[in-house]
A and B are shown apart, each in its own frame.
Chain A
Amino acid sequence: MSTAAASTLRGATLPKWSPYAIVGGAIVLGVAIGLVGGLDSKVQWGLIAGLLYVLGTYAIAARVEGRRQAKDRVATSLVWVAFVVAVVPLVSLIWVTVSRGVKVLDVYFLSHSMGVVADSQPGGGAYAAIIGSLEQVGLATLIGAPVGILTAVYLVEYGRGRLAKAVTFFVDVMTGIPSIVAGLFILSLMLIFDMEPFGFAGSLALAILMMPVVVRSTEEMLKLVPNELREASLALGVPKWRTILKVVLPTSIGGITTGVMLAIARIAGETAPVLLLVFGNPFINNNPFEGAQSSLPLFIYQQYANSAGANAAYDRAWAASLTLIAFVMILNLVARGIARWKAPKTGR
């Protein structure tokens, strides 16, 4: 037994339970400081406890294990604290939306509109907004999805040379356009032709926001289709366009659908362009091509902004938020489901 050798491998190590003990101590101390100092915000208590945890970890680890181990433990504790700090608001967001949303969310809310109900009064619902959202998003998808998919087909199957490069570049640029700028663009056209707000104008702005997202995701999917498949089809004498339609697109249809659904989920939540172009309407307007409409995100905003603090309006805003989140989440989950369901086939 050489003791010199032993000392190089054996480090003094804190027991396994020590991080939990430090967390517990930090929380107790944080609460104590909060109570004694009379801090009314629980958020501060939490922040103090987090700070104590990080400092405590460093102090204890540095004494027992040495500086390198202490740094390692501080990094670990910081990562955990960051996780908790971020999770709190995000969980709160979901929790509040659900708990407040269910208050007035019922069949009546989904099947009636505001009409002549004053914003400060209870009653009414989001029917007109839901109809508006469905029509606007539907029309935007009818424009945005085919253009996006065809553009991706062009880039992957035909695209060489300067035009393809330019398209690729500007698709990237387009991805970064703020939604309100897309709205302003359609607005500038409407100003030229002196038009009043209507649903389809919003659809156009949403389509602009949708296209680059669809192009990107479709491109990725088409690139996954192995070249051998195309060559095999072409070698059989099948013309290129039929190869694309009958071989390439069917192979990647799952991924393309996922991409389109995620894009729909994104534009369904857009408020700014709808605010500028569709204006909002408490009455049911089934015609997207004439007259102001509403939409779910816009409904939320207007219930919040025009109600001067009336609880009934806030309740409706939360209920509409819950409806919107549910719609977006279902789209997301279904899209992911399709992606997962389709994945093994492309993997083989």
Chain B
Amino acid sequence: MDISTQTADAPPPIPPQPSAAEQKRDARGATRVGDRVFLGLSRGSGILLLVVMAAIAVFLTYRAALAINRDHGNFLTTFEWNTNLIPPSFGIAVLAFGTIVSSIIAMAIAVPIAVAIALFITHYAPRRLAGPVAFVIDLLAAVPSIVYGLWGALILVPHMTGLFGWLNDYFGWTGIFSWDGGAPRSMLTVAILLAIMILPIITNVSREVFRQVPQMHEEAALALGATRWEVVRMAVLPFGRSGVISASMLGLGRALGETMAVATVLSPDFDIHASLLNPGGGTFAQNIASKFGEATSDGRDALIASGLVLFVITLLVNGAARIIIQRRAEYSGANA
């Protein structure tokens, strides 16, 4: 089969070279073998990637199916995760809620700030400051998430009590911001930590997009008598919008799948709470990390099932980002 596909879409055969008699002497057979081996290797790597992707989908689905068959609760709606009971009972409702809520709040905090910092670097900062700031934020994107997690648990959490007290005093009546005064290891803290984590990524991508705004569009706005902010609004933001959206999606993907930063900060339970300030709830990745140690092999299957759901969600988010990027490519192509 390997050989047949090779001949099917091999690169166009080398055209007959009547004058290349000397080259033919140069071990023509070996050349062919070399080309074939090299093509085989590189194409094989590509195919290996596809096989790995397929295997991820197949094996996760297989183990997940085993787990869901054993589940005596409803996999989608049960509010508990008791995989070691006989019969086991578990569901992902709480995890899906926690994952989505924490990621969305993180986005709501991080995206405006990231866009502002990207603008700061490209359009506002004095040039001597812009370079180093961009460099440092670049490096911060490489800080491992476990370090963010450690910092979040030991430094950020104690600093949240003041803010939580204030939110509870003035907005506690909404229910969302009510607080019993426990340790602030809650969804809001998680969301803030996630926001801090994804900020460098979103900033870096947005910065690149803003930097690519053609000078001539900005000059057009300036020549009409626009202030700096009006230039940004007329020329920079519209041009960079799809880029910022795809940067945000990238950040969202990170936030959805983040494990360690959530696992270190959150004090989880298996319920959906109205309050973002009281501890409780959980996310897919955090639940996998914290339940894994005590899970039997059946329990691990259940965790795999929840991981499959996370996988599908991130695929959807990344797919959306891809479509947006593609539109942007078409749009800028038409504009060239």
Contacts and interface: CB of A to CB of B under 8 A. Distances in A.
Interface string A138-163: 00000000111011011101111101
A179 B257 contact: yes
A208 B151 CA distance: 28
B334 interface: no
B69 interface: no
Contacts of A266: 142
A14 interface: no
Given A71-B229, A150-B42, A237-B23, A242 B163 contact: no
A273 to B, nearest CB: 9
Given A40-B162, A72-B228, A241-B37, A170 B50 contact: yes
B146 A185 contact: no
Contacts of B311: 177-178, 181
Interface stretch (B87-95, B114-122, B211-219): B114-122
B26 to A, nearest CB: 7
A333 B179 CA distance: 44
Nearest to B114: A86
A178 B263 CA distance: 15
Contacts of A321: 146-147, 150
A268 B142 CA distance: 10
A274 to B, nearest CB: 10
Contact of B318 (A44, A83, A175, A189): A175
A59 to B, nearest CB: 17
Interface string A158-175: 111101101100111111
Interface in A261-295: 262, 265-266, 268-272, 275-276
B108 interface: no
A151 B56 contact: no
Nearest to A239: B31
Interface stretch (B71-79, B274-282, B299-307): B299-307
Interface in B227-271: 227-230, 232, 253, 256-260, 263-264
A161 B150 CA distance: 47
Interface bin, chain B = 35 or more
Interface residues of A, number: 98
Nearest to B31: A239
A43 B162 contact: yes
A41 B155 contact: no
Interface in A39-88: 39-41, 43-44, 68-69, 71-72, 74-76, 78-80, 82-83, 85-86
B206 to A, nearest CB: 12
Contacts of B304: 184, 187-188
B112 A82 contact: yes
B229 A173 contact: no
Contacts of A242: 34
A328 B143 contact: yes
Given A43-B162, A170-B50, A270 B289 contact: no
Which applies to chain B's interface (DSSP): helix, strand, loop or mixed? helix
Interface in A7-31: none
B285 A44 contact: no
Nearest to A212: B49
Contact of B35 (A177, A181, A184, A241): A241
B314 A178 contact: yes
B222 to A, nearest CB: 13
Nearest to A148: B45
B98 interface: no
A247 B84 CA distance: 59
Given A93-B151, A175-B318, A304-B154, 12 more contacts: A76-B228, A86-B114, A154-B46, A155-B46, A167-B46, A177-B257, A179-B259, A188-B62, A208-B52, A305-B263, A321-B146, A324-B144
A2 to B, nearest CB: 20
Interface string B18-42: 0010110010000100110111011
B327 interface: no
19 contacts: A83-B116, A83-B133, A90-B199, A90-B200, A150-B41, A150-B42, A155-B46, A158-B43, A164-B46, A174-B49, A178-B258, A180-B259, A184-B303, A184-B307, A188-B63, A189-B59, A191-B297, A324-B147, A328-B142
A44 B259 CA distance: 29
Query: Which of B38, B146, B149, B162 is the most central at the interface, judged by chain A CB atoms within 10 Å of its CB?
Result: B146
B171 interface: no
B161 to A, nearest CB: 7
Interface string A240-264: 1110110000000000000000100
